[in-house]
A and B are shown apart, each in its own frame.
Chain A
Amino acid sequence: MIYLMTLFFLFLLLILSFLLAEITYSPVNRSAKTRLLDSLRRISLAQQHLHDVRQYGLLFFSLVCCVLSVGVYIPYITLFLPPFFQQSEAAVLVKSHNAPLVYLGLLILLQVAGEISQALTERQNSSAMMVLNSYFWLPLLMAWSSLAPYLPVDLSHIIKDSGSSIWLGMLQPAGCLALALALIGPYLIINARALFPVSPIHTWIRELRMIVGLSIIIPLIYGRSCFSPVNEHFSPAEIAGIAAQVILLLVLMVIVLRLKKFLRRQRNLNTERLWKITLWLSMISVTSSFVAFHVLGTSDPLMHVLLNFSLLAIWIGFIAPKGNLKQTKNFKSNSSIPS
């Protein structure tokens, strides 16, 4: 059952990534089947031109990382679903309270490994070389660390009166946003500075990794947290929740594509600035996690919401003026006139 679901999910993701990769090369409106075949032909053509064995191996490793993370994905997402959907104990890879955290760390490591091995093949791209520095991955690590205490989903016996099932994205909005920005960051940065042609095979692998990354983020936004109650009952509202996750994936994908388009339109995009904003956000989310869990105590979920949103407001107040939004607005209006 789980293998069939994984295969089906992988198939869906592959088709989506082929279609997305084709958008980069031909924006003409055609039927989906033609686009899919065109994309396949383009990628196989590019693959025949890969002569360097080392490059070939690195790209293959990057692809294997994507496929592996899809394989781990179904057990990962069932941890965030209500207990009704959880599998028999034999099928569970990691079985402890911290299993969601371990799965999330594993998935993030696979994403990072894929991104780094792909960036090693394109050293000409200065944006891709930024990925190879260790400081670039600091926001991702800190965002993971800030979400860590919220993740053990079945620890509600420790927290008394856990009647609330506020979503993780509400409890820790800064951490969720930082994780999303840091995971999709390389995709945005490298695609926004595409001043020279990128090989179709690179584009395709990067699109596939973007979709996998988005589907990693979704249970964090719309999943259970450490405050959610343990109820064995099955209700139609939970089915609606699962349908909402699929819709959320599509919404997030559209947001990322719009953001990519917006960043590409800016003439003087400073990728360093984007990275610094993510770092600020992740550090503030780590601090808020520390304050919430060690200074104020874990008792009240509404207190977490209040604290995190006030910190988010502080972040917007202090950092957003430095992000020079006025300048970006001017550039957007300038560039939209000729195009």
Chain B
Amino acid sequence: MEWFAFLIYILIAALCTLVVWFTIKVGFRVSTLSEPVLAEPENFLTTDTGSSDQTPHLYWNFTATLIVIPTLILTLGFFAEITSLINPVTGTLAVALALIWGMAFWSGMLAFPKQSPLENQIPLPEFSEPTAKESSEVQHTIDPKETS
């Protein structure tokens, strides 16, 4: 694969990712708005001080969309079938891989925060829906713990 053909593929991949991201932003606007509300019981990115106020969910989503581009470049690069390290395609792929690792580390996706067992026992929100009531009546005789 030539270098310029590869460049064109990269540009197409980046543009497609941006288009998908924009579509998600516009089409699923309600779900993105309700993300910060949900973040609290899930104990995202909390430190030991227990301050779960600034949970950067949207920021994570944006980083995730950015990571998609180098991943697609990597997938495309496998078809180049080039094994020399001096080749610019291999260099680009190495940079893409380094970008993936860097962004994942930088956004804290790969970090395992220390958790205390008490923080996870926050009760989940109520489930109020006609279908749910109906199914709970069916299930009422059986304790959910016993089913497991």
Contact = CB atoms under 8 A, between A and B. Distances in A.
The winner among B57, B61, B125, B132 for most chain A CB atoms within 10 A is B132
Contacts of B100: 142, 283, 286
A141 B17 CA distance: 13
A126 to B, nearest CB: 5
Contact of A124 (B24, B71, B74, B126): B126
A265 B144 CA distance: 11
Contacts of B132: 196-199
B148 A264 contact: yes
Interface in B70-87: 71-72, 74-75, 77-79, 81-83, 85
B43 A134 contact: no
A214 interface: no
B38 A25 contact: no
Contacts of A290: 74, 93-94, 97
A199 B129 contact: yes
Contacts of A124: 125-129
Contact of A339 (B109, B117, B145): B145
A30 interface: no
Interface string B109-148: 1101001010011011111111110111011001011111
B51 interface: no
Q: How large, as a class, is the contact surface on chain A?
A: 35 or more
Contact of B71 (A145, A265, A293): A145
A42 B28 CA distance: 31
Given A148-B78, A194-B144, A132 B124 contact: no
Contacts of A158: 81
A201 interface: yes
A168 B74 CA distance: 19
Given A135-B61, A290-B94, A339-B146, A49 B130 contact: yes
A322 B131 contact: no
A126 B138 contact: no
B130 A51 contact: yes
Nearest to A265: B148
Given A135-B61, A270-B115, A271-B42, A196 B124 contact: yes
Given A135-B64, A138-B68, A196-B126, 17 more contacts: A24-B147, A25-B138, A51-B130, A124-B129, A129-B31, A132-B28, A135-B109, A194-B144, A265-B148, A272-B42, A283-B104, A283-B110, A287-B97, A294-B83, A295-B83, A295-B90, A322-B112
Interface of A: 24-27, 42, 45-46, 49-51, 98, 120, 123-126, 129-130, 132-135, 137-138, 141-142, 144-145, 148-149, 158, 193-201, 261, 264-265, 267-273, 276, 279-280, 283, 286-287, 289-290, 293-298, 322-323, 339
Interface of B: 21, 24, 28, 31, 34-35, 38, 41-44, 57, 60-61, 63-65, 67-68, 71-72, 74-75, 77-79, 81-83, 85, 90, 93-94, 97, 100-101, 104, 109-110, 112, 115, 117, 120-121, 123-132, 134-136, 138-139, 142, 144-148
25 contacts: A24-B147, A25-B139, A25-B147, A27-B147, A123-B31, A129-B31, A129-B34, A129-B35, A134-B64, A134-B65, A138-B67, A142-B71, A148-B75, A197-B136, A197-B139, A199-B129, A199-B131, A261-B148, A264-B148, A268-B121, A276-B112, A279-B109, A286-B100, A295-B85, A298-B83
